[in-house]
Structure 1
């Protein structure tokens, strides 16, 4: 059991069994199969169970045993009946634990204040929706998952009362289930680009300040050290840009965006930050849609290839990295409800959730609750009749979401845990 349990000075734990009467290896197999939503409860059973299920190796074993559950984290408005916000931490309590994040259903409490946001979770394995209670999420904040260290970071956005940009940072330990207040961003900003680069670093760039001025500034946050550092500014202002990172090059991409004087007219290029040289490089020909927000995109890794998808004009287009052009792709017969989603929602986002699945997210309130779709890649026999080349079919699956989860997700991320 030494591989699964943290060091504990209490000697009696050396002789305690995970489940009395069962060998520890068999008992561990039982615990590995407990759904993640039950972990807050099983941590209360004993010190040994708590240390076991809180150890990173426990989640590594869940993934290796194909027992991990795929969770999509979404920052959504608490619609239609938001909860009143809990009190914020004082500056003296910055390092204090905010509390357990027991995933419970939202209580339908009428609140007449400003529109509030919450961090919701969708389990694609069992199609279960939950909200993370007990924490105030700034309006239009961004969420980023760091799988290697098992953390989720919520950054920036607006104060829901004043509608001013905030520098607030919240860090969720996904193994233990507790929030902590992180060091605030040096620059309060909203509608910025952000992405995780490497095991423990989150990059942010662009967005706008409290006067709606577009920003060139960029910063990096080391989640483990809880420290920020300034990066060189970008060449131009980039409000409402889209951030991404590619594991093969370790660089931070800031796609498109617009300047203060050209609001809503998105730039055709991108800026790429290289951590090794500490410099930015402009890459042209990346975004040919000046009237469209690049946020509705996804990076999809299929058979080791980079695929960047975007929904435009009622179809999914794929970016060809070598030629720097966008081309329509054949996904077979598209269900009517999907085309209705595209036509009825002003924004539709894509998220790669692994295992050949793409999560399409629209505003379910505008399309009869049909706002969430999973597009699943299926390999088929080339001798069979299939609609796509290369022996691939795509299956469209409607995701049922309760009314309280139908608001359009401002930010989304995913983790296999």
Structure 2
């Protein structure tokens, strides 16, 4: 299908002159078509011209949100999105759909440690670390301030205002009630290097309406590799873990000093109104575990439930899933993954539709060997173990990924979206 022209991209609501389903009113037909899972719409939109227009219109997204017929999807970026296609995965129907690659910059390459986050019917791709052919020395990675937004109506990437401070490996969270995105900390760490790289404490927020970034009060300390989330009911932005200072071992090797604490920014005042300027001061929570319990924070997911006042935070620590107790500032064991893997890097960890998804590859090849091989072989089977925190039950499913190489969950970037 050829790309839409600029005039065609101004997608309009379906009018009465177009028949969606013969014999039915368009209001009824559009409602029926809106309940088709999103992962199947790309095939059906080629059925006829009227369906192509409808499945590319704002009416579709309006109906799906109005009648809560969302598809809970996982977006996976296996590596640099300018050279490798991202994919949408629908676990409910075991369906995959590719997204177009990011617009390519001929001067930069090997983008990693970027962050993706969903806000409304869009996916945002922010920052990262890359190499720049115009810089010297060439083997020194630089942080990126670039920002992109994927528009599911036009099915294309849009460049938005760049961040004030370039960064990768940073905390990021969407504030849905304010239509904003907050980023905190970060640095220039690249996945090719186990240590080194810069750290920053800069915090800023992106305002979607004005397409602009606004500086906020900086973190108490330099912090990179951290995790962020927003508790919208209490109006708090949390930043957990990460690393700051480094120490030198044997006079040669830099080793990161990982944080065990968390810091919180108040986004609302005591009256429940937004703080002037978009944020207040930082509050230090303290260490979340005792020294010697674990070296660093594991993979974090946040479960937001409409019936729960505060979000539930879970961590994958090797093969154990822990729940964070905000009152005690401690991690409590919730459950263990039924099927083990060699180490926690073999797992991907996301939350979809109120369930925790632990993903690993079966019969996958070693990633380091695959990158050195000239002939890329397809990845193995994607094995997903799913835990329901309310029911305390496990189930599993198996999917065949479309990638041409095994997923490396330690470097792949994932985010969830409801469409």
Match of 1:99 in 2: none
- The counterpart of 1:218, out of the listed 203, 211, 227, is 203
Larger relative contact order, structure 1 or 2 (CA cutoff 8 Å, min sep 6) = 1
In 1, Cα distance between equivalents of 2:384 and 2:124 = 25
Look up the SS of the partner of 1:126 in the other structure.
coil
State the shift of 1:369 in Å.
3.4
Match of 1:387 in 2: none
Match of 1:394 in 2: 394
Q: State the number of aligned residues.
A: 354
* Residues 38-86 of structure 1 deviation map (CA, whole Å, 9 limit, x = unaligned): 556738955796367522x5334335556432110122127xxxx9x5x
- The counterpart of 1:70, out of the listed 72, 75, 84, is 72
* Residues 180-239 of structure 1 deviation map (CA, whole Å, 9 limit, x = unaligned): 101111111111111111342111111114882211111111123210111111110111
Show structure 1 runs of 4+ deviating over 4 A.
6-9, 37-41, 43-49, 63-66, 287-293
State the shift of 1:359 in Å.
1.7
Most deviating of 186-195 and 252-261: 252-261
In 2, Cα distance between equivalents of 1:282 and 1:288 = 16
Match of 1:309 in 2: 314
- The counterpart of 1:320, out of the listed 296, 319, 325, is 325
2:373 counterpart of 1:373: no
TM-score by length of 1: 0.73
Match of 1:361 in 2: 359
Provide closer, same or farther for how the CA distance between residues 414 and 177 of structure 1 changes in structure 2, counting only shifts above 3 A.
same
* Residues 136-164 of structure 1 deviation map (CA, whole Å, 9 limit, x = unaligned): 583221100013xx111000112356542
Match of 1:352 in 2: 351
State whether residues 295 and 349 of structure 1, in contact with CA within 8 Å, keep that contact through their aligned partners in structure 2: no
2:147 counterpart of 1:146: no
Provide closer, same or farther for how the CA distance between residues 14 and 60 of structure 1 changes in structure 2, counting only shifts above 3 A.
closer
Look up the SS of the partner of 2:404 in the other structure.
helix
Match of 1:252 in 2: 237
Look up the SS of the partner of 1:261 in the other structure.
strand
Provide closer, same or farther for how the CA distance between residues 7 and 64 of structure 1 changes in structure 2, counting only shifts above 3 A.
closer
2:53 counterpart of 1:50: yes
Look up the SS of the partner of 2:215 in the other structure.
strand
State the shift of 1:8 in Å.
5.9
Provide closer, same or farther for how the CA distance between residues 236 and 366 of structure 1 changes in structure 2, counting only shifts above 3 A.
farther
State whether residues 31 and 63 of structure 2, in contact with CA within 8 Å, keep that contact through their aligned partners in structure 1: no
Matches within 5 A, 1:112-261: 117-136=84-103, 138-147=111-120, 150-159=121-130, 163-199=141-177, 200-209=179-188, 212-261=197-246
Look up the SS of the partner of 2:349 in the other structure.
strand
State whether residues 256 and 268 of structure 1, in contact with CA within 8 Å, keep that contact through their aligned partners in structure 2: yes
* Residues 104-158 of structure 1 deviation map (CA, whole Å, 9 limit, x = unaligned): xxxxxxxxxxxx55432111121122331242583221100013xx111000112
Look up the SS of the partner of 1:196 in the other structure.
strand
Look up the SS of the partner of 1:25 in the other structure.
helix
List alignment gaps of at least 5 residues for structure 2. Answer: 1-9, 105-110, 134-140, 190-195, 248-254, 268-274, 367-378
In 1, Cα distance between equivalents of 2:296 and 2:40 = 38
State whether residues 151 and 171 of structure 1, in contact with CA within 8 Å, keep that contact through their aligned partners in structure 2: yes
In 2, Cα distance between equivalents of 1:293 and 1:404 = 32
- Across the aligned residues of Structure 1 and Structure 2, the Cα RMSD in angstroms comes to 3.4
2:310 counterpart of 1:299: no
2:307 counterpart of 1:329: no
2:262 counterpart of 1:270: yes
TM-score by length of 2: 0.73
Look up the SS of the partner of 1:259 in the other structure.
strand
